[in-house]
Amino acid sequence: MSDKNSTPTPATDFIRNIISQDLDSGKHQHIVTRFPPEPNGQLHIGHAKSICLNFGVANDFDGKCFMRFDDTNPVKEDNEYVEGILRDVRWLGFDWGENLTHASDYFEQLYLFAEELIQKGKAYVESQNADEIRELRGTLTEPGKNSPFRERSVVDNLTLFRKMRDGEFDDGTHVLRAKIDMASPNINLRDPVLYRIRKISHQRTADQWCIYPLYDFTHGLSDALEGVTHSLCTLEFEDHRPLYEWILAEVSAPCLPRQIEFSRLNLRYTVLSKRRLIQLVEERHVDGWDDPRMLTLSGLRRRGYPPSAIRLFCKRIGISKSENNIEMSVLEDSAREELDKTAPRAMAVLRPLKVVITNYPEDKTEEFEPSRHPKNPDMGTRKVPFSREIYIDHDDFRIDPPAKYFRLAPGKEVRLRFAYVIRCEEVIYDSDGKVRELHCTYDQATRSGTKAEGRKVKGIIHWVSIQHSVPVEVRLYDRLFVNPSPGSDDPGGNFLNDLNPDSIETVTSCRVEPGLLKAKPADVYQFERVGYFCVDSKESRPEALVFNRTVTLRDTWAKLEQENSGQN
């Protein structure tokens, strides 16, 4: 046992507690885990929980974690998904080192394990079609029935299985099944299929194979071949554990990994089923896997979520066996907490309203130099130009303000952040009776940083100089669904009926500080008083910047839900 393992990491969940006990007892000298995604889609926030657990456990106990692709179904797999998954895991902050593997690396060994089962009389070639197999499988309350091919001889089974490998049969004509117990109360033990014929080229092995093992057969044996000590799975695999253990016990496996289940991530206002995510993408309800409204890791990255926020979220929700529904605010608050530490500040006006400061010289420009981050002086300062004509946000002005409204209104004063106090003297309307611009005066003695700045003005608003500001496009992203449990209120369970029609709002009139001209794709800023925004990595260009809203400064949904609850 290593020096690090001689002083175990304090257990923070039941899995780490088990591992600590296994190390203390001497059952294991070192820890090996694995993260085994299927390359048939992109990773989502639920996968992040498993990634952080498997790689985190290995890091905590000075072990190693295999990055292993379960590439056993060439019908749905693509190398594009492989590259995307590797990119996502690396972005999340984890490194597999030399431990990148694929189930296809073990195809020959898996095949030999299958022959071993046949030779022991523990597997047979089934010649019924899929519907016939399903019909004899039974139900949760009724036992299954034996296949008419269950008692084939070992010689016949080996001959047929080898012919399957040699490509002598068409897809669907034969499968290899384990011979366990058709009356088992656990349906997974009712002679499960281990191999099927798929005459389709594989992304890694090309046309070398035309039979492929199923996940339940591949998973445990791949674990054993890699020396995995603890195989960590979500709870839906709990009923599969007896099969996992049966296969390992019936073949000459090099070791016996222990499967441990934990609850999967259930997050309100989203769907994490890969089937549903694929449907959203293929039916173009979203703009691809990396649409910023998708809780895929690529979507979260494009939206501006830092990997530290995802890791913090996974730490906060913890690991247990209890099913739960996590509030979206937990994820959003994790992003706010992390971005507050790192995001430089800037001023941006999303819905510009022109303000003319009538007593400010027409040809004058001055610069203010606020900090780039109020809590991190090491980030330096930025230059913000000020001139006679500025933009403020339409939401910061009211003709007839309500009580305790501290922003701008006729005859009222407000402080321009980092600049001066201004007073609204006149409102200019357009031909439709809408406010077109404001004429204000400023108090020269109230420049920020001077003694006069201390005179009391309750309202502080942001602004940009019209002459110097930069036009950008801003995309205000919101939750993709309006129902906390999409599809739950529909008799047919159609989750698409709960899509949020306002999940994206594109604002083309936004103006930002001129310093943001230097912004690069994936840079995240806090637009003061507005929220956190990321330069879009896909569609933004230096001459036409696009900003995606990562998250608001406050949890606006919590207030909305509270109001709706009060109405009910």
Question: pLDDT tens, 14-43?
Answer: 999 999 999 999 999 999 999 999 999 999
Cβ-based neighbours of 169, under 8 Å, separated by 6 or more: 163, 197
Nearest to 158 by CA among 213, 208, 214, 116: 116
| Residue 274 annotated to the active site | yes
Q: Which one of the listed residues 145, 165, 198, 264 is annotated catalytic?
A: 264
The pLDDT value recorded for residue 567 is 44
Report the predicted TM-score, pTM, of the whole model to 2 decimal places.
0.92
The pLDDT value recorded for residue 6 is 42
Domains of the chain, by residue range, sit at: 3-262, 265-344+475-568, 348-462
What dotted CATH number matches 265-344+475-568?
1.10.1160.10
Quote the tokens at residue 68.
């292993």
Cβ-based neighbours of 373, under 8 Å, separated by 6 or more: 343, 344, 345, 379
SS3 per-residue string spanning 351-385: CEEEEEECCCCCCCCEEECCECCCCCHHHCECCEE
The pLDDT value recorded for residue 252 is 96
Quote the tokens at residue 515.
């310093």
What dotted CATH number matches 348-462?
2.40.240.10
| Residue 264 annotated to the active site | yes
Quote the tokens at residue 350.
């999303």
Residues of the chain with pLDDT under 70: 1-11, 452-454, 555-568
| Residue 511 annotated to the active site | no
Reduced to 3 states (helix: H, G, I; strand: E, B; else coil), residue 151 is coil
CA 127 – CA 363 distance, rounded (Å):
89
Q: Which one of the listed residues 122, 198, 274, 354 is annotated catalytic?
A: 274
The pLDDT value recorded for residue 561 is 47
CA 152 – CA 160 distance, rounded (Å):
10
The CATH number, out of the four listed (3.40.50.12780, 3.40.50.620, 3.40.190.10, 3.40.50.300), of the domain defined by the range 3-262: 3.40.50.620
Cβ-based neighbours of 385, under 8 Å, separated by 6 or more: 365, 366, 367, 465, 467, 468, 514
The pLDDT value recorded for residue 323 is 86
Q: Which one of the listed residues 38, 337, 453, 561 is annotated catalytic?
A: 38
Count CA within 13 A, CB hemisphere, residue 560.
Answer: 8
Nearest to 122 by CA among 131, 113, 135, 130: 113
